[in-house]
Amino acid sequence: GAVVSQHPSRVICKSGTSVKIECRSLDFQATTMFWYRQFPKKSLMLMATSNEGSKATYEQGVEKDKFLINHASLTLSTLTVTSAHPEDSSFYICSGTKREGLHNEQFFGPGTRLTVL
């Protein structure tokens, strides 16, 4: 397998502030990283696809100016929630893609719980 970490694991912030979440692949280089959002008792919804050195590709309905993604290296991607509001409160999960045999496998981080007051 492979290990993906996220920092912080949980964060509480005031409405209007910005929050940065880090996603690191600890023992492999992730060709691609993905960011998901999960509301309580719901499924994971893909927000964006992130490739090192290029702009992220956002899914329909996800505001790229609100959710800034920076993929600085093959082991680090960051998601910044700008001007956060209570409706942005959610569980944010990242994943990194690694070649396993003939296929690419996604390894998921432990998630970051964001609460906006």
Partner 1 sequence: GQQLNQSPQSMFIQEGEDVSMNCTSSSIFNTWLWYKQDPGEGPVLLIALYKAGELTSNGRLTAQFGITRKDSFLNISASIPSDVGIYFCAGQLHTDKLIFGTGTRLQVFP
Can you give the binding site for partner 1, defined by CB under 8 A? 4, 32, 34, 42-46, 49, 59-61, 91, 93, 95, 97, 103-106, 108-111, 113
Rounded to a whole number of angstroms, the minimum distance from the CB of residue 48 to partner 1 is 10
CB 69 within 8 Å of CB 50: yes
- Distance in angstroms (rounded) separating the CA atoms of residues 50 and 35: 8
Smallest separation (angstroms) from partner 1 to the CB of 19: 18
* Angle, CA 29 vertex, CA 47 and CA 7 arms, to 5°: 55
Nearer to partner 1, 39 or 72 (CB): 39
In whole angstroms, how close is the CB of 114 to partner 1 at the nearest point? 13
Q: Which is nearer to partner 1, 78 or 97 (CB)?
A: 97
Distance CA 108, CA 36 (A): 10
Residue 11 C-beta: closest distance to partner 1, Å: 14
Distances (CA, A) of 93 to 25, 101, 102: 13, 25, 25
